Amino acid sequence: MTDTLVLSVRIDTVLTDVRVFPLLDITRAQLERAAGAPITSVERVDGGLTNTIHKVTLEDGDVLGIKHYAGGKEWFETELTTLTLLHGTVPVPEIVNVDLERLVIAYRWIDGITLHELRKRGNHDAFASLAEPLGRALAWISHTDATSPFELTHILEHSYRQLTTGRARLRLGAALADALLKSMEAAEPQMAFGAVCLSHGDLGHRNVIVHQAGGRWRINGIIDWETTTTSSPLADVGSLFRYSQRYDGDFVVAFERGYRDAGGELPDDWLLTARLLDATWLVDMLDDEGDHPQVFEDCVRLVATLVADVH
């Protein structure tokens, strides 16, 4: 996997609706084989930016999502393992059928809309009501043991080199790069907080499915686990709060309450610490050798906002 591809995968929470891979041409027969049953209707899902997803209805009325993994075997195996691991603990898609040869997973369809769609509707009360459930969900994820080693020191040292001599420094400018470097170095002890755990790897608004029932909004699913990794429990928190201006003080307080109520632990000044940890991703993007001007501009704005909030 090239560095450019890694950058593209991560832009879901940073830029817009850029597809990483072209949509695959999937036939009805292929979908029926993946579903393991005859289907009566097919709808291609536009939300996925990396894989090709269809919503299908079976003859018995069941509704499935069928995902073909354009990203290859590694992404397929990562999501398959993670969904199996988290089933019953975190609201993830329930696997119905798997095609190991063709890299396809069929799962029960999750009703609702993305948190991104809900926020864009401008319904502040609905969005705010999900703060505590989001906190609980991230705490549940943080309870899942790490599946591979994680070296924070290595990641930070890599970011520091990029901020000192890399393309990231050129794109940020010396003053902003030095300010971020200083802030990250000061926060190192807090970044190391907590036991290493499973991490979604790209926890943004597009990967949270919410649904209204009985007048209340709830989290119906957290999706797209193909870039799952091992990290600090603060990694997913930082990813969620990457665009800090989307959240007011009440939302942050409610999120923290939900996180702690679910048994999660947070350090002092947890929000800025998590955002500084997430900045390692932004720096990595800014150091990419490709030409992604919109992505770079957005990353620079995010870093500038973060540095201003720290100081």
Q: What is the residue-level pLDDT of the chain in tens, covering all 311 positions?
A: 333 333 333 434 444 445 566 778 899 999 999 999 999 999 998 765 678 899 999 999 999 999 999 878 999 999 999 999 999 999 999 999 999 999 999 999 999 999 999 999 999 999 999 999 999 999 999 999 888 888 999 999 999 999 999 999 999 999 999 999 999 999 999 999 999 999 999 999 999 999 999 999 999 999 999 999 999 999 999 999 999 999 999 999 999 999 999 999 999 999 999 999 999 999 999 999 988 899 999 999 999 999 999 98
What is the rounded distance in angstroms from the CA atom of residue 169 to the CA atom of residue 286? 8
Contact 57, 40 (CB under 8 A): yes
Report pLDDT for 311. Answer: 86
Helix orientation angle between 270-286 and 152-165, rounded to the nearest 10 degrees: 60
Q: Which residues contact 140 (CB under 8 A, 6 or more apart)?
A: 89, 90, 262
**Three-class DSSP category at 151:** coil
Rounded Cα–Cα distance for residues 113 and 120 (Å): 11
Per-residue confidence (pLDDT) for residue 147, from 0 to 100: 81
Yes or no: say if 104 and 110 are a contact pair by the CB < 8 Å rule: no
C-alpha 5, offset from chain centre: 16
Bridge partners of 199?
229
Res 1: pLDDT: 32
Q: What is the DSSP string of 62-127?
A: -EEEEEE-TT-HHHHHHHHHHHHHHTTTS--PPEEEEETTTTEEEEE---SEEHHHHHHTT-HHHH
Q: How far apart are CA 264 and CA 143, in angstroms?
A: 8
Which residue shows structure tokens 């075997």? 73
- For 104, residues 6+ apart whose C-beta sits below 8 A from its C-beta are 34, 66, 67, 68, 69, 98
Q: What per-residue confidence (pLDDT) applies to 47?
A: 62
For residue 129, with 0-12 CB atoms within 10 Å meaning exposed, 13-18 middle and 19 or more buried, which class applies? middle
40 three-state secondary structure: strand
**How far is 153 from 190, CA to CA, in rounded Å?**
13
Say if residues 273 and 187 touch (Cβ distance below 8 Å).
yes
User: Can you tell me the distance from the alpha carbon of 161 to that of 141, in angstroms, rounded to the nearest whole number?
Assistant: 31
Task: Taking the CA atoms of 14, 16, 18 and 20 in sequence, report the sign of the dihedral they define.
Answer: positive
Hey, how many other C-beta atoms are within 10 angstroms of the C-beta on 42?
15
Q: What pLDDT was estimated at residue 71? A: 78
Q: What is the pTM of this model?
A: 0.89
pLDDT of residue 21: 65
What domains does the chain contain, in order, with CATH numbers?
16-109 (3.30.200.20), 114-310 (3.90.1200.10)
**Which 3 state secondary structure label does DSSP give 231?**
strand
- pLDDT at residue 5, as a whole number: 34
